[in-house]
C-alpha cells in the first residue's frame, strides 16, 4: 500500500494511507 508523509512546519507528522473501501460510506 502507498503511504505519503507530510510534515507540518510546526513539526507534526501526517501519514496518509488509502482508506479501505469498506470504511467509505456509500453515497
Q: Which residues bind another protein (CB under 8 A)?
A: 4, 6, 8-10, 12-19, 23-25, 27
Q: Is 23 exposed, middle or buried (0-12, 13-18, 19+ CB in 10 A)?
A: exposed
- Compute the least distance from the CB of residue 11 to another protein, in Å: 9
- Compute the least distance from the CB of residue 14 to another protein, in Å: 5
- Compute the least distance from the CB of residue 19 to another protein, in Å: 5
The residues, ordered by sequence, that sit 6+ positions from 7 with a Cβ below 8 Å of its Cβ are: 13, 14
Amino acid at each position: 500500500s502507498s503511504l505519503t508523509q507530510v510534515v507540518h512546519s510546526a513539526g507534526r507528522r501526517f501519514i496518509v494511507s488509502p482508506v479501505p473501501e469498506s470504511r467509505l460510506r456509500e453515497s
